[in-house]
Structure 1
């Protein structure tokens, strides 16, 4: 019997047992894709990462990301958490980690900057690998039935419910209040109906709903539901947050702007997460989406395979 070591971390938080948990297999050599999927299913976190030597020796590592049901091309909290775990190691496949890491992923290269507190690695800031892509709009009534709220509570003022991506597509909808956000409850049968209508999301239909106040429009409260991917609710979703930040910035009238946005997620689950976004828009086009967060190490162990 062989074993591989793992580390878990809570991501997008500086408090233990908050944020979004992640399992990292920091040396996944010898594991098949099938074995990786089984391990990810066993952890049953929203994502588990598997780190391999890079194909290009100038890069840091190749990172594969699995949900409990499928491999995905990119996700935010797995990159932030994997960078945190690798940055605290003495070496990464024989090389001493610097403050900048480059991950090879299915969606492209992910550029990572380690964050430090008192000299110790405490988190990471990553650049989303893809440009903003905006997909089809979604009927407000369908969104309302997905989360069992009044259709009148789906806002269309800033944008209609729609798909957007900076590496992984999500459905986005704005709600009218914190009260509605708190009452939202996913109906898996309607999610399956939505997935059959919309094919943008390879893991089914992942829905990001949010609200924001007029006095703090760039401090956004959010919830994310992905029941078709065995993630009833996700406490922190970096890739979706980056896509929303990029999309909202694209809708601003200014041709050139740099926005700082905070996404607060996971509150209703008792796992409060804070995701920092830096979005750059130039010549009317969003050119860069950066997301950052703190992390806390939780567990170490071995998986037999």
Structure 2
């Protein structure tokens, strides 16, 4: 075992401990996949990341991203959280104002501006309507009539999200899904707020088969939803999404569109600094 720098950050909230926590192991070169997965399972957070030396000359660092049960090629809140942890530990980006992260999904640019970070959403690797039998199953999982689902689309960008659109934020907040029926499906639900609200949409994320059944705030899902909602003219960027409300969180995800590219941003706060023996 080796003593390595360790940090925990809170992602997508202006108030510490009201967003989504991320564990970050620094100087993780030399750890095996099995050791990383074991530690990620032990932290029992939505994700744990491991900072490594980059293999690409364009990247500032390389990261591996683990849930409690598997490794992901990409995830949103770990991308912003890892960048913040790297910067706080003294990292200096090669490009002024932009961190380049290397992960299994490729190189991910991350803008650093004042008190907010934003990543460029990677392309969706599966982006198509959901078959009707699966939509009916999702309605049963969510405990709502099939007619309440206005639309559904695969939004795979690392995690295997299925986006589900309801008619209102209140419908989203009222959901009481049946975890036992979800299997390994990853379901993201979105509905619009009234025009007087601070945020334009409410989002909830349900991850079947994962110890963290409802994810507090989810960058990858919001990236996929943004692509889908703007492509179908349901939403216009820029807009803000709220997530984690029913969990007592105050997640705020800021979506913008530049040259056809989706950017997903939010505030990140460092909360824990220390060491870990791995």
* TM-score, structure 1 normalization: 0.82
What is the CA distance between 1:214 and its match in structure 2?
5.9
Q: How do 1:140-179 residues align onto structure 2 when only pairs under 5 Å count?
A: 140-154=135-149, 156=150, 160-179=151-170
Q: How do 1:68-217 residues align onto structure 2 when only pairs under 5 Å count?
A: 68-91=68-91, 98-116=96-114, 122-131=115-124, 133-139=126-132, 140-154=135-149, 156=150, 160-192=151-183, 204-213=184-193, 215=195
Alpha-carbon contact 1:137-1:162 (below 8 Å) kept? yes
Alpha-carbon contact 1:259-1:280 (below 8 Å) kept? no
Partner of 2:247: 269
Alpha-carbon contact 1:83-1:114 (below 8 Å) kept? no
Alpha-carbon contact 1:73-1:107 (below 8 Å) kept? yes
What is the CA distance between 1:91 and its match in structure 2?
3.5
Partner of 1:294: 267
Structure-1 separation of matches of 2:94 and 2:7: 19
SS of 1:259's equivalent?
coil
SS of 2:267's equivalent?
strand
What is the CA distance between 1:270 and its match in structure 2?
0.4
Structure-2 separation of matches of 1:99 and 1:291: 16
Structure-2 separation of matches of 1:179 and 1:135: 26
Distance 1:178 1:236, change over 3 A: same
Partner of 1:250: 231
Partner of 1:61: 61
Partner of 1:197: none
What is the CA distance between 1:131 and its match in structure 2?
4.8
CA RMSD of superposed structures (Å): 2.4
SS of 2:46's equivalent?
coil
The alignment covers a number of residue pairs equal to: 275
Alignment equivalent of 1:239, drawn from 220, 229, 237: 220
Alpha-carbon contact 2:169-2:193 (below 8 Å) kept? no
SS of 1:31's equivalent?
coil
Structure-2 separation of matches of 1:276 and 1:37: 30
What is the CA distance between 1:89 and its match in structure 2?
2.2
Structure-2 separation of matches of 1:146 and 1:270: 23
Uncovered stretches (5+) of structure 2, i.e. residues with no partner = none
* TM-score, structure 2 normalization: 0.90
SS of 1:172's equivalent?
strand
What is the CA distance between 1:162 and its match in structure 2?
1.8
Alpha-carbon contact 1:245-1:261 (below 8 Å) kept? no
SS of 1:63's equivalent?
strand
Alpha-carbon contact 2:165-2:191 (below 8 Å) kept? yes
